[in-house]
Chains A and B, each alone.
Chain A
Amino acid sequence: MTWTRAHFRSRRGLAGGLLCLALQPVPCQCPRDQKPLAAPNLPPAKKPLPPLPTGMPDWLDGKLLNGRRFLEHSLPLTYENMKPLFDELEIGEECHAMVEEALVTGQAAALETATYTSLLSAMQDPAATTARRERLSLYEKAPFNYSTLGSRYRYIEMVVSRTHSLHDWLLQVLIDEKLNWRQKEQKIQDGASRYFGSGASISGLPMNMLALDNQPYSRTFRARYPRTAALIWGFHWLENASFDLLYGKTPAQQKAAYAALGVHYRRVELLRTGRAAMPMFAEISPAFAARFPALANLFDNFHMLLDLVSDVIASDGMTPEQRDIQLRRAVWLLVKEGHAGEKPGGFRVNDSLHDHRFLKGMPGMGRSVNVSPELQLMETVGLGWMRFGTCHHCSLALTAGEEGWRGCRVTADGWTMRVRCPLCARDLAAETRGGAILHLATEDPQRCLVLISDEQGNLTTEMPAAVFLEQEQSHLRCSEWSRAFTSRQAFVAFTRTRPAWKGAALITLQQWAQRRGRKPDTYVKLRRDAAAAKGGKAASGPAVATPRR
C-alpha cells in the first residue's frame, strides 16, 4: 500500500516506527565533516529556571485536540509527483521523533552510537528505508501510533502536528501542476491565513534566536549528542530547502533540482556537526522567504521550539513538574498568543524575547548567531559576510520592484545566494566547491531556467534551447548585459527592439558554460569585527566595507 505523508503527519505514529524496522547499519558515506567536531555550543552557565508566565491559553492544557482540522481535505494529495522528496521528509521526521522518544523515555545512552548509525543509514538511503517501511502493514504500525512525548505533553504534539501539516500542505501547493503561479501564491496566502487564524499556531514574527537559545537548559542536547543534533539540524535544513527547491519551477525542474539537492543533503548536511546555529530558512530559501516572510519566520520559530524541547528533555536535574513548566513556557515563547499585538520590526527594551527586528533586506529572518542588523555570515559556504539586499557576487543592489522577478539564485554548499544576473550566478557557482543549482530568470516571468552544476561545474538543464546575451562591461549594469532567454526566437525579439543590443552575439548554453567573467569591478568585501560578532554583540555594530585593493 502507499502511505501518504498525512498518515505520519502528527508526531503520533512516529515513535519507534523506524527502530522497530531493525535497520541494518550500513557504512556511512561521509566525504567531509566525518569527524565529529567538539561541541561548538556549550550549555550556558546555570541559571534558575524561569517561571510559567500568566495568561496561558486553554489549548496549552490540551483542550483543543484536533490539531489538523484547519487544512484537512482542502487540497487533493498531489505529492505523488515528488514522492521521493516527501518520503525523505517523512523519514527525517520519524527519525527526529525517535530521537525525542529516546530522550523522553530515558533511552538516550545509545543516541550517539548505535541509534545514530541506524538513523543515519535510514536518512542516507531514503529509497531503501521507504521500501522497508512500505512493507509493513497498518496493523504492524498501529502499536507505534503514539509517542510518549506526544502523549505526555499534548500541547507540543498539537503545535507540531499542525505546523507539519501546514509545511506539507504548502509543498503540495508548490508541486501542484494544475495551479498556475498566481493561484499557487493565492493558495499559500490562504493557507497561511488559516493557520495563523486558528489556535495552537507558531508566530510568524521574526524572533531573536540568540535570546531564545539562551535559556538555562539551552544547548544541552547538542552539547551531549552533537552527531545526533547534526542529523536533526540537517533534516531541518531539508525542510527549509524544500521551498526554494520547488518555488517557481516546473515539475521537471523540481525533480532535477531535488536530485541534486538530495545528494548534497545526504552527503553533507546530515553530517555537518560544526554549525554555529540552527539552519535558518532564509539562508537556503531566500526567494520564498522574501515573498512570504511570515512563513519563513514561522518555520524558523518552529525549529527553535523543537530545539528548546530537545534541550528540556535532555536536561538533567528537572522534576517532571519543572519539565512540564519549561516545555509549556517554551511553547508560549513561540506561539502567536505569546506575542499578541506585536509587529515585525518592533521590540521591547530589555526584553529580547520580544525582539522582532529582522535582518535588513530580509523580513523573513530574525536575529541569530552570525547575524547583524545588516549582515550575515555565509557560514557553510565560506564566502564571508553578505547583505541580503545585494548581489552576493558583484555587491550591487538586487533588482527590486517590477523587475524583481529578474533576480537569479545559486544554491551551493548548503546556502542559496541571490545574484543579479546569469553571469554572477555562473561565476559564483564556479567558485563554490561541489555541485550547485542555478536558478536564472529569463525573458518570461513564468519560466525560469534551472541549470544543475555537477562537482566539476558542468551544467545540464531540461531547457537545452536556452541562449544567452553576455556583453561583459561594468557590473553596474550587469542585469542588462547578462540575460538568459528560453529560446533563440526570444533572444532575437529582445535584441531587435533594443538598439543598444542590436547585433549582439547570441551565445548558446554550451558556449556560455565555458565562459568566465572578470572579477566584478563593484565587488566589496564586507567585514565584521570578530570580537563584536561574538555572542551576538554584532547586532549593534555597523558593517565595515573594505574596498578591493
Chain B
Amino acid sequence: MMSKSGVYSHGSQRMRRRLGMLLPPAILVSGVMACEGAVAANLRAGGHEAQCPRCKREVVQDTPRQDNEVAIRYGMKRIEYRCVSCALAEALSEYKDDLTILAPSEVKGRPVLITRKSGRWSVLPKTAVFVGEGRGHAQCHVANRAFSGKAAFQAYIRRNAGLLRNARPRTLGDMLQRAPAIDPPKDAGKESGQER
C-alpha cells in the first residue's frame, strides 16, 4: 500500500485487518536496518527470535543501545546463539570448517569478530577480552560476553557486580578451553513450553 508520499504505510489499520495480522504500531523498517558496509552486512540479524541451538533458551534480542545476539557465520549460514560461550561450544562440536563468530561488544554495531580459519583461531580487535562465568544458562547472556578491551570489561563488571563480582578477564584461548565443558542445561527447552 503506497501513501501519497510514495512511502509504504505499513501501519495501516485497514491493511492489518485485511491481513488478519497484529502489526506493531511502530514497526521500525528501513531505519533500523540501514546499516551498511561489510560488517553491517554480517551484523544483519536473522528474521526470527529463535531459541539458542545450544541451550534451547530464547536468544536475547538486540536493543537500540546494546547488541545481544551472538551469531555464527558459516558459509552463507548465519545461526544465532544466546551467548558467546554457547557459540564457541557449538563451533567446536558442530561446525568443521572456517567460520566467524560475531560476539556483541560494549559498542553497538561493532562486534568482536572471532574467526577460525584453517583450524587457527583469531580475534579482532586483538585487545578483546571476555567475561565467561559458569552461572548456568538462565543468565548466560549476561555472564558470557565480549569486550573490545579491559577497560570496557571493568566497567561491565562494575555494572553487574552482583552477578560477576569475582570475574576476571579471559582471553579467547581461555574461552576455547572452557567451551567444551558447556553442556546444554538439563531443563533445555523449558522456557518455550516444550515440556509435557
Contacts and interface: CB of A to CB of B under 8 A. Distances in A.
B75 interface: yes
B98 to A, nearest CB: 9
22 contacts: A32-B94, A377-B194, A382-B50, A382-B52, A383-B51, A393-B48, A396-B21, A428-B48, A431-B78, A453-B76, A455-B74, A456-B76, A516-B44, A518-B30, A519-B44, A521-B10, A521-B28, A522-B10, A524-B24, A534-B193, A547-B23, A547-B25
B191 interface: yes
Chain A interface size, as a band, is 35 or more
A476 B75 contact: no
Interface string B64-89: 10000000001111111000000000
Given A431-B46, A457-B77, A377 B21 contact: no
A433 B47 contact: no
B81 to A, nearest CB: 11
Interface in B1-57: 1, 8, 10, 15, 19-25, 27-30, 32-33, 41, 44-53, 56
Nearest to A395: B21
Contact of B79 (A41, A370, A431): A431
Interface stretch (A60-68, A101-109, A110-118, A525-533): A525-533
B190 interface: yes
B76 A524 contact: no
B49 A522 contact: no
A207 interface: no
- B interface residue count range (under 10 / 10 to 19 / 20 to 34 / 35 or more): 35 or more
Given A397-B21, A522-B21, A547-B27, A473 B78 contact: no
Given A456-B97, A519-B46, A549-B28, A473 B8 contact: yes
Given A456-B75, A457-B75, A431 B47 contact: yes
* Closest 6 pairs between A and B when the two form their complex, measured CB to CB: A456-B75, A547-B24, A457-B76, A533-B193, A431-B46, A530-B193
Contact of A384 (B22, B49, B74): B49
A383 B80 CA distance: 11
B61 to A, nearest CB: 7
B63 interface: yes
A432 B194 CA distance: 19
Interface in A354-407: 369-370, 377, 379, 382-385, 390, 393-397
Given A519-B45, A535-B196, A547-B24, A383 B75 contact: no
Interface of A: 31-32, 40-41, 274, 276, 369-370, 377, 379, 382-385, 390, 393-397, 424, 427-428, 430-433, 453-459, 473-474, 476, 513-514, 516-525, 528-535, 538, 545, 547-549
Given A382-B50, A521-B28, A529-B193, 7 more contacts: A276-B196, A377-B192, A393-B48, A430-B76, A459-B76, A517-B47, A530-B193
B11 to A, nearest CB: 10
B192 A530 contact: yes
Nearest to B29: A521
Given A382-B51, A382-B53, A456 B77 contact: yes
Q: Is the interface of B mostly helix, strand, loop or mixed?
A: loop
A528 B21 CA distance: 17
B7 to A, nearest CB: 10
B74 A456 contact: yes
A393 B19 contact: no
Interface string B183-196: 00000011111111
Contacts, number: 152
A459 B78 CA distance: 15
Contact of A522 (B27, B41, B76): B27
A384 B51 contact: yes
Nearest to B26: A547
Contact of B61 (A514, A532, A533, A549): A549
Contacts of A533: 193
Contacts of A40: 195-196
A422 B193 CA distance: 31
A395 B48 CA distance: 10
A96 B54 CA distance: 31
A393 B56 CA distance: 20
A231 B27 CA distance: 45
Contacts of B25: 547
B193 A377 contact: yes
A390 B23 CA distance: 13
Contacts of A545: 22
